[in-house]
Amino acid sequence: MTNRQFGSDQGRLVVYFHGAPGAPGEAALFDRLGKAHGLRFLSFDRFAFDRSLTGEAYFRALAEAISGEAGGASVDLIGFSIGAFVALQTCRHLGAGVRSLHLVSAAAPLEAGDFLGTMAGGGVFRVARTAPALFECLSWGQGLLARAFPAALFSLLFASAAGEDRVLAADPAFQVRMKETLRDCFVERMPGYIRDIEAYVQPWGAMLSGVEAETHVWHGRQDSWSPVGMADYLASEIPGCSQVEIMEGLSHYSCLHHAAERICRRLARPEG
């Protein structure tokens, strides 16, 4: 499985699970921080991974790829948005090999509460859960937008931006990065995106009791993509959860940007 590397060449290994939509390039946010704190960041190109692998076989393969890079050392995991779901599932297959798990703007199981009505993109998840064939058609339609009218797709996705996400959405540099991410996802790697969404919308809350890694939850109070109640639910259900940071004024992507420095400082602390 291919990956992209950021930060220090020789630092301790941190694996970043990008969102959906998303792409490995998201982890570029950690490049400067990784170099400053001696951390080597990898983000696997999981949407390009063998589409025939689904369910536990998919998560097991991700864990095997991470173990191969770690060479027997423990790793830290960061999962953003729906990438947090994939990180949690993969964590189970890594066992004691995970030193810590950081869930940022994490999407919790849909069966855990009445979330769909307040989620940006809730309609997409509802269709994915009840009419998978229609969801795939809608996704390919987004792919056409990403190819021909990336600015329109960006505006559509950020129409309900809240808190500091509104500031990010107006930033030309962020717009460029997100349009590249959307193209990578919806034009180049659509089947992998569909796999993640279709797995996410199925019930999976029961597996949280088996997550024993030290877990930290980072969430924006005004998150319009993953309502803050999702952070509360994950914190209550994960036995290894030791920290919950609800960040005032922040939403989805802005939480990731603000939490990155604090996560890196924590990861750089000596073990023990």
User: Could you give the domains of the chain?
Assistant: 3-120+202-267 (3.40.50.1820)
> What are the angstrom distances between the C-alpha of 231 and each of 35, 74, 103, 106, 118?
29, 25, 9, 7, 14
Q: Nearest Cα to 82, choosing from 210, 261, 225?
A: 225
- pLDDT, tens digit, for every residue of 181-195? 999 999 889 999 999
Q: 270 pLDDT exceeds 90?
A: no
Contact between 47 and 185 (Cβ < 8 Å): yes
Tokens of 140: 């390919």
Task: Please count the CA atoms within 13 angstroms of the CA of 219 that sit on its side-chain side.
Answer: 26
pLDDT tens string 146-195:
999 999 999 999 988 999 999 999 999 999 999 999 999 998 899 999 99
Whole-number pLDDT of residue 215: 97
When pLDDT is cut at 50, 70 and 90, the band that residue 272 belongs to is very low
Sign of CA dihedral 121, 127, 133, 138: negative
Question: 51 pLDDT band (50/70/90 cuts)?
Answer: confident
Mean pLDDT of 123-134: 95
Average pLDDT, the chain: 94
- A 10 A CB-CB count for 239 gives 11
Mean of pLDDT values over 119-134:
94
Which phi and psi (to 5°) does residue 17 adopt? Answer: -105, 110
Q: Which amino acid belongs to residue 82?
A: I
Is the model's pTM score more than 0.75? yes
Query: Which string of b and e fits 121-156 if b means at least 16 CB within 10 Å?
Result: beebbbbbbeeeeebbeebeebbebbeeebeebbee
pLDDT at 126: 95
Q: What is the pLDDT of residues 70-84, one digit of tens each?
A: 999 999 999 999 999
Please check the confidence at residue 271 and state whether its pLDDT lies above 80: no
Residue 80's pLDDT is: 98
What's the gap between Cα 195 and its chain centre? Answer: 14
Quickly count: other Cβ atoms within 10 Å of residue 55's Cβ: 11
**264 pLDDT exceeds 60?**
yes
Phi, psi for residue 245 in degrees, rounded to 5: -115, 110
